[in-house]
Amino acid sequence: MTIRLVTFDLDNTLWQVDAVIHRAEKETRNWIQPHVPKYASYMNPENVASLRARVLEEDPDARHDVSALRIHMMRLAFEQCGLTPTAADTKAREAFAVFIQWRNTITFYDGAQDTLNNLSQRYQLAALTNGNADIQKLGLDRYFSFAISAADVGSSKPGPEMFLEALRRANVSPKQTAHVGDNPIDDIEGANRVGIHSIWVNFDGKTDQVPAHATVTDLPSLVGTIASLSAL
């Protein structure tokens, strides 16, 4: 059946995310230091774990909303460092603005944008992410018709909710859809469970047995791979 919709994971599929998050957190800490001087010493591993547990107890939905989780944790931490609740909330949101700016400052993998441009002329494209990358800030809205995050549907991949919402928005069937991602569980198993064609992006040439319908080791190969799936 002809492929009409191609959905993409973002982090570690279109760019390497670990260095991005590391830099974003560093820049955020640098911003916080003069505003909440006690923060650096307070945020030891034990307190971080305690804050996370408290946030998830107070707001279980934050498990699927990494932005809300980060803001809530910073707000509680700032209160523990002596700020009033109102001041802590204000500073947490200001600090998050710094974080999200750097979180959306990325370097695309080789061929990513050319591949997206090529595919967007043949299929409808959509982004499905457990994270909080912003396709508009990244300039990806020129390729993607829409983006769905775990926060939008209250559930993370490999749960079916994000995939099903993409099918609904695009008005296509699972067999008319291919999903591209790097994570064997979140992306490949998640797509497979819904009946969507899964394409594993395996940059490192891992030998793991991943039950994907197709595997690529570079992004430009997706053009031919998706065309082949469409011809089945």
- Pairing type for strands 5-8 and 124-129 reads parallel
Q: Are 200 and 213 in contact (CB under 8 A)?
A: no
Longest dimension (CA), the chain: 63
Per annotation, catalytic residue among 9, 11, 65, 182: 9
Q: Give yes or no: 9 in active site.
A: yes
Cα(14)–Cα(46) distance, integer angstroms = 33
Cα(190)–Cα(179) distance, integer angstroms = 9
Q: Which residues contact 60 (CB under 8 A, 6 or more apart)?
A: none
Catalytic residues: 9
